[in-house]
Structure 1
């Protein structure tokens, strides 16, 4: 069957690109190896409950942000619940930090917990940077540049305020803390490092100021919850595609992509599909293996990262009886001594909304726990019990649950992620930020400069639903710029 565009994988970058292309009247087909859409921003059903696959937080609906742009362009509507309080952080000294959304409230809380010092100056600077980063990201859709037309369009859309961001690409978050006299505050340094892991996948000495400031400030924007789980957002995009004459084909794992005179042959276990253009929404580590062109494979391999520079995850999903209503759904618990086996110094907890009866019946709550596993290829977890016990004990200590309320519990290692998602090494969260890789050095959306493109969390701009959404927007922009 012939399509205008085939997208590999139904992660949020792919879904974004598919929706925007379908809006332009193109016949689009998304090939997905699983039975649900959404990739690492989806949900799955087990024992009658809906668990999140990976991502549990949702931002990007504010003006000048990618998800807002996508929904405005397509008219897709999803009933979101705005969270009054985005997150709480449980520090190693026993203090509880509430990450308020309003900047002044958050600065007051940061000063209360970490001491005044120059907290206000630091957070006002970070928030200003984050606002400009998001605004610029939609204005500069040709970035990163990979041909003369990109450069020309970049120049045309350059504004003086954008140029003020440039020094931030050469400074790390460690430099920024030093600038504001906060580097000797060990409690604050630990807080910053574990918060950066959530969205930048790395610590302050590696994360540049542009990504780091934006990552730290994601709680200062609208944070949302979707009843039924994030799969509901993916399903809404799927319905939009169907209404435009396009589709998602499940249980279609792509085996190879071969360039032809008229476009590409994309082969799955179920057959071969023809298309004029192809967009990969799976990681670079997986993408470069699909192409038969050895020169292209070699070229793309230079952008891939080995397991030693990536993160996997240990995850837990369980159901508890509602002994009390959670007023804050998302929590990060710091573990300065490190968790058993893997050594992670924090874990993230998300509760389903107490009024969401789509994920669990009234009186029950679905809980998701995740923590980083560095170098997942070589971090084999043979016995999960000590890790599970340590996390449950800490959650009890922090009054996030009582063990006798648990009705069901399951856990998974990076090996399970390989099985579920087919992502190389069981990688989660995309490529971590590294100081030696500047934003303009990240892989841009073009794969072969003919008709193959890429989006997702291993190319610019990287992690999170909002980042992969932007990558899908950029891929579409470059495809249309190149060929229409």
Structure 2
């Protein structure tokens, strides 16, 4: 059988693209090397419990945001529980900072913890930027520009507000803090750095104002929990795609993509698949290995980031019994002295909802923990128990868990991510933001300017479920713009 589009990988960017294309009546085949769909935004089952694969937070459902646009367009329904407040941050001085979803309440909380000096101006400024960025993102689906049609459609949809955003691409978040006279506030600088690390994968001297302001404000938009885990965000997309007559095939690791006279031949260890078009929903580093086409390789080479510029993750899953129900499910814990072996200075922990008996029986809770591993190819973690204990000690110290309530501990290194997801170096979280890379210099959705495209967290716009959802929208928009 020949498909209209073959999509490589079933991460959320891929599923977004598949749903949008299936909704247009095209015959889609999604090829997934694992046995579960969703990539880094899914869940897996072990010993009767459901653990999150990677991502644990969900945003993007407010007006002008990508996931809201896709759900409205397709009619897909996702079970959701809104979280308020969405997060707490445990700072080095012992303060617990609550990241409220209401801007006014959040500013008062920031002033309480960091002092009143210029906090209001800073957060109002960042929130205005973030609103403009989100509005622009879903209007400018031809961005980044890589052919004449992109320029035409972007100009057609341009507004004065979008033009006003441009200077923010040339400022970094360090400049913004300096402008608001906040760089001397070390507690605040440390807070901003660690918050940017979990949203933009880098620190304030590297992250530009557009991405940085948007990243810092993600708790000021609706945050959700998906009962049963993020697998139940993925399942409605799978059901929509298959009910439209398209397919998803598991255990199909793609080895090569070759252009043919009438499209593409995608080979896996189990056979070949023909299609008119192809979308790679896997990282750029992996995509490069699939194409023998020298032009594609030259185009991609300039965008690739090596391991030393990427982050992996050390992740843990806990089963807890007897813990009090958490009113706030997501917590970031600062570890100023750094964790052993990897040096990471913060831990992120997410708890399953107290009423979610699908992931764990009543009276038990699942906790998902992650921390960054810089240069994952080089950072070998041979003594997992030392790192595990340091993380548990930090969480116990801040009162988030109790040792006697731990029923089970499991952990995974970047090496496990390679085995599990096949992502190069075991890198997760997407490509970090770097100051020298402006938004229009990030890789756009076209691979060969013929019929091959790409989406996911290593191309524009980058990280998070909302970001990869937008990348899937852009890939579809450019495919349709080019060929239909």
Q: For this structure pair, what is the TM-score category when the shorter chain's length is used for normalisation?
A: over 0.9
Q: CA deviation at 1:296?
A: 1.4
Structure-2 residue corresponding to 1:188: 188
Distance 2:163 2:122 in 1: 20
* Alignment correspondent of 1:45: 45
Post-superposition shift, 1:47? Answer: 1.1
- Higher mean alpha-carbon deviation, 144-153 vs 292-301, is at 292-301
The yes-or-no answer on 1:77 pairing with 2:69 is no
Partner of 1:215: 215
Match in the other structure for 1:343: 343
Match of 1:318 in 2: 318
Corresponding position of 1:450 = 450
Tell me the residue number matched to 2:360: 360
In the alignment, what sits opposite 1:17?
Answer: 17
Q: Offset of 1:299 from its aligned partner?
A: 2.0
Structure-1 residue corresponding to 2:160: 160
What TM-score does the superposition give when structure 1 sets the normalisation length?
A: 1.00
Matches within 5 A, 1:269-288: 269-288=269-288
CA distance in 1, matches of 2:423, 2:322: 35
- 1:322 CA displacement: 3.0
Deviation of 1:297 after TM superposition, in Å, equals 1.3
SS of the equivalent of 2:365 reads: strand
SS of residue paired to 1:257:
strand
2:242 counterpart SS class: helix
Please give the secondary structure, in 2, of the residue aligned with 1:428: coil
2:411 aligns with 411
Say which SS state the counterpart of residue 202 (structure 2) adopts.
coil
Shift of 1:190: 0.1
Aligned-partner SS, 1:377: coil
Aligned counterpart, 2:5: 5
Residue in 1 that maps onto 2:264: 264
For 1:366 and 1:432, how far apart are their aligned partners in 2? 28
- Corresponding residue number in structure 2 for 1:127: 127
Determine the structure 2 residue equivalent to 1:303.
303
Paired residues of 2:295 and 2:448 also in contact (CA < 8 A): no
1:462 aligns with 2:466: no
In 2, distance between residues paired with 1:252 and 1:85?
41
Give a deviation string over 1:318-366, Cα, whole Å, max 9, x none: 1001331100000000011100110000010000000001111111100
Q: Spell out, residue by residue over 1:209-233, the C-alpha distance to the aligned partner (whole angstroms, 9 max, x if none).
A: 0000000000000000001100111
Take 2:42 and 2:106, find their aligned partners in 1: how far apart are those partners? 30
Task: Out of 68-77 and 296-305, give the one that drifted further.
Answer: 296-305
Matches within 5 A, 1:382-401: 382-401=382-401
Cα distance in 1 for partners of 2:388, 2:196 equals 24
- Whether 1:472 and 2:472 are equivalent positions in the alignment is yes
Q: Please, which runs of 5 or more residues in structure 1 have no aligned partner?
A: none
Mapped partners of 2:337, 2:42: distance in 1: 32
Structure 2 CA distance for aligned equivalents of residues 287 and 79 of structure 1 = 33
Distance 1:90 1:84 in 2: 17
- Aligned-pair distance for 1:295? 2.6
